[in-house]
Amino acid sequence: AQRVTQPEKLLSVFKGAPVELKCNYSYSGSPELFWYVQYSRQRLQLLLRHISRESIKGFTADLNKGETSFHLKKPFAQEEDSAMYYCALSHTGGGNKLTFGTGTQLKVEL
Amino acid sequence: GAVVSQHPSWVICKSGTSVKIECRSLDFQATTMFWYRQFPKQSLMLMATSNEGSKATYEQGVEKDKFLINHASLTLSTLTVTSAHPEDSSFYICSARDSVSYNEQFFGPGTRLTVL
């Protein structure tokens, strides 16, 4: 069965420090991985997807099939990065349903 | 960008009554919409996949007779919680998949349901 694991419920870093939000997955097929972000009092929105290989708001994530990981990274955290981050896996053979991880609350302190 | 709305944003009802929640894609057509449930401080759990013009596909453990889904048009899906009970109190979120934007789901703001 597909599963997405985000081991940290809360990650607190200082402004300017590097950030790494961990995400591991288990899936028998070829995965499509996403990172979604939810800022305070806002709806969930897509941050980035592995297939695009893009950097959004300074964040990047590389799919490592050997380690079944899709960690989210940013070299220098900003205060506005404080939010809830969800890693998600798309079931390509199941109507593109998403399975979400439990989320990591990122808090960037001054 | 693509916008998804939900109505109402919050609702309080008595136990035993039914509540309908609407999910609309405002500026795109969505052949597929998804309904999620989120308990406090927990992740989103997919309840069902709503396909325009056909029956919804429910996830294991979700009662289809209790959570009625109708997707009558390309811009509207509704979730009706029938005979609601306090344990149905939760945050219900819908998303719509834009067939043009590769595999991206756009999320609604959610509906807070409280059953007394």
Is A97 close to B49, i.e. CB distance below 8 A? Answer: yes
Residue A4: the pLDDT is: 95
Residue B48: the pLDDT is: 95
Task: Report yes or no: A82 and A74 within 8 Å, Cβ to Cβ.
Answer: no
Residue B102: the pLDDT is: 58
Rounded-to-integer distance, Cα B84 and Cα A71, Å = 39
Tens of pLDDT, residue by residue over A51-100, are: 887 888 999 999 999 999 999 999 999 999 999 999 999 876 656 789 99
Rounded-to-integer distance, Cα A20 and Cα A69, Å = 12
The residues of chain B scoring below 50 in pLDDT are none
Tens of pLDDT, residue by residue over A15-58, are: 999 999 999 999 887 888 999 999 998 999 999 988 887 888 99
Q: Report residue A6's pLDDT band, with 50, 70 and 90 as the boundaries.
A: very high
Taking CA atoms, what residue in A is nearest to B9? A43
Residue A93: the pLDDT is: 63
Q: How much is the mean pLDDT over chain A?
A: 91
For residue A51, give how far its alpha carbon lies from the nearest alpha carbon of chain B (Å).
Answer: 10
Taking CA atoms, what residue in B is nearest to A32? B103
Cis upstream peptide for B40 (omega within 30°): no
Residue B61: the pLDDT is: 93
Rounded-to-integer distance, Cα A62 and Cα B29, Å = 31
Is B44 close to A97, i.e. CB distance below 8 A? Answer: no
Rounded-to-integer distance, Cα B68 and Cα A104, Å = 32
Residue B2: the pLDDT is: 83
